[in-house]
Structure 1
Amino acid sequence: MSQVHESTSTIGYLIADLSRLYGRVFDRRAAHLGLTRVQWRALKRIHQAEGITQAALADLMDMEPIAVGRVIDRLQKAGFVERRSDPDDRRVWRLHLSSQSTQIMDAIEQVSVGVRQDSVAGVDPGELQTALKVLSQIRETLSQLDRASRGESSLRKG
């Protein structure tokens, strides 16, 4: 029983450490691209959901909309992102990658694949699949808990 308690009490720290170290290695390998981690995360999210709104992007990135707006300003100035007005709502900007961003997205993907492959080198493929399955289950449970807690807090306000 104490073995289970010990492993579950450190899982948050382990995940945080993995995230921090993964990001650090990625940043070093991607430094030649001249983008910050937040900028490449934004580009990747826009790439995955072309036409996303700034508000939706802020939510996906777990950032304040004003901070995402500044990131998009820099990416737009660098020629990687275009803001296009929403035909149904003039207050909303839709985000699209520019043609210039294709090259940077390919470079980011190469770095990403390299870090992923190197980070799991030496890990048994079956064990990796099990670990990914467990982490996915934890993510889903935490997502449910997050949605439930947001629902509770909105009920209290109303």
Structure 2
Amino acid sequence: MATRLRDIGLAVKRLQWIHHREANRRLADVGLSLVQWDVLRHVHEQPDATLHALAVLTFQTDQSMGELARRMVDRGLLVRIDGPGRAVRHGLTKSGEQSFEAGVSVVESVLEETIGKLDTTERTALLELLVKAASSD
């Protein structure tokens, strides 16, 4: 029996749903949602990212990312940084950095329970296949 594309798509979606549900549940213990942690992660990894770039990286609209960033500034997780032009940039506060670090082990534990079941060769193949399938080439 041939593998159907829709079955593969559903398996990818199901795994993503498990990750999101579990990560959100566990991140609540450190006072974050998965979306908030993802923003902290991207600001940590790309401190010069514009608000628009963060929206793209976190799969949000510019408007929703702007509102989320405002709430995270109000919570003391992010700080607005002046820069050239009109682009809005953010940086992590000490509290934001601590929250990001606390969330790393939470997210890693979720991934360990799923993708961690695969050996190194399988993980490498999975990553290569997902990157290839998502490429625009």
Q: Does 2:85 match 1:78?
A: no
Q: Cα RMSD (Å) of the superposition?
A: 1.7
The count of corresponding residues between Structure 1 and Structure 2 is 137
Q: Over residues 58-106 of structure 1, what are the superposed CA-to-partner deviations in whole Å (9 max), with x where a residue is unaligned?
A: 12222111111110011101111010121x21x2221111122221111
Q: Over residues 23-63 of structure 1, what are the superposed CA-to-partner deviations in whole Å (9 max), with x where a residue is unaligned?
A: 11111121111222221111111111102111111122221
| Structure with greater proportional strand content | 1
Larger gyration radius, structure 1 or structure 2: 1
* Equivalent residue letter for 1:80: L
Residue 118 of structure 1: aligned partner? 113
Which of these residues, 49, 53, 67, is aligned with residue 52 of structure 1?
49
Kindly indicate whether the alpha-carbon contact (under 8 Å) linking 2:80 and 2:91 is maintained by their aligned counterparts in 1: yes
| Structure with greater proportional helix content | 1
Unpaired runs of 5+ residues, structure 1, are 146-158
Task: Determine what percentage of the aligned residue pairs are the same residue.
Answer: 25
Residue 125 of structure 2: aligned partner? 130
Moved over 6 A (4+): none
Q: Which has the higher contact order (CA 8 A, sep 6+)?
A: 2
Residue 104 of structure 2: aligned partner? 109
Which of these residues, 73, 95, 117, is aligned with residue 100 of structure 1?
95
